[in-house]
Amino acid sequence: MRACIIGASAGLGRAIAEQIAGRAEHLYLVASDQSDLDAMAADLSIRHAVTVHTAALDLRNCDPNALYADVVAKMEEIDTLFLVAGFSSKDDNGAVADSLANTILTVNFTGPVRIANAFLDRLAGVAGANIVVCGSVATARPRRGNALYASAKKGLEFYAQAIRHTFANINSPCKVQVYHLGYLKTRMTFGQKLLFPAAEPDNVAKIIISNLGKDIPGLCIPKWWTVITTVFKLVPWAIFKKMNI
């Protein structure tokens, strides 16, 4: 396996990197901070004898084509792209500062989409290739508590499903897996009072890795979120509009 992980230094991205390192020949890790990436690269290469490449990128102003060129130059080939990066803010409940809006939209939507777009042609022709897209259960229904985050994640999921259609149309061997992730025990949820329990990133990573090679248009992890999101969608508007969520 030769995989690139966008958002690799913490939370789910780090858990995925740690779990696939044992079966990967090359890993290319992308995150915003080089010191975290250096520590990850050292650890994974020492434990698993995998060759690890890194790039410290700010998704708000990265050049996807330069990233793609560097990935191909260093790994020669790529067969799996994980789009894990995410960012939310408790202030995302109405009008927010433009810089915050820009961060939420670029980290969750335009950044990953532009990167996927740069890799698309290459991955479309690789046997056993995967594009793994981490969306959110927040996309189940629009609500005031995360307007920008949920919109951005919905956009990302929509794009991923469109790629899936494209690949099916051209009989591409590359599979697309789209996940609606529930709460995870990460910095994003730390200290927040959550309505439902948060999952361990290690457990979620295990499920995502076991699904590589499959065609998944949209799957909730953990699975019990399917029930919650279904109920959520069925709440009548007259009641929903009064809910403080």
Site for other proteins, rule CB under 8 A: 9-11, 14, 33, 35-36, 39-40, 42-43, 46-47, 186-187, 190-191
Cβ atoms 177, 163 nearer than 8 A: no
Considering the complex, state which of residue 200 and residue 215 has its C-beta at the smaller distance from other proteins: 200
In this complex, which beta carbon is closest to other proteins, that of residue 38 or of residue 215? 38
Least gap, CB of 91 to other proteins (angstroms):
17
CB of 82 to other proteins, least distance (A): 18
Burial 83-111 (b: 16+ CB within 10 A, else e): bbbbbbbeebeeebeeeebebbbbbbbbb
Return the number of the residue (47 or 214) whose C-beta is nearest other proteins.
47
Q: Residue 96 or residue 188: which is nearer to other proteins going by CB?
A: 188
- Cα 166 to Cα 160: distance, rounded to the nearest angstrom: 10
211, with CB counted inside 10 A (0-12, 13-18, 19+), is middle
Nearer to other proteins, 9 or 172 (CB): 9
Shortest separation between residue 54's beta carbon and other proteins, angstroms:
13
Q: How far is the CB of 85 from other proteins (least distance, A)?
A: 13
For residues 86 and 137, what is the distance between their CA atoms, to the nearest angstrom? 13
Which run of H or E residues covers position 55?
A: strand 51-56
Smallest separation (angstroms) from other proteins to the CB of 73:
26
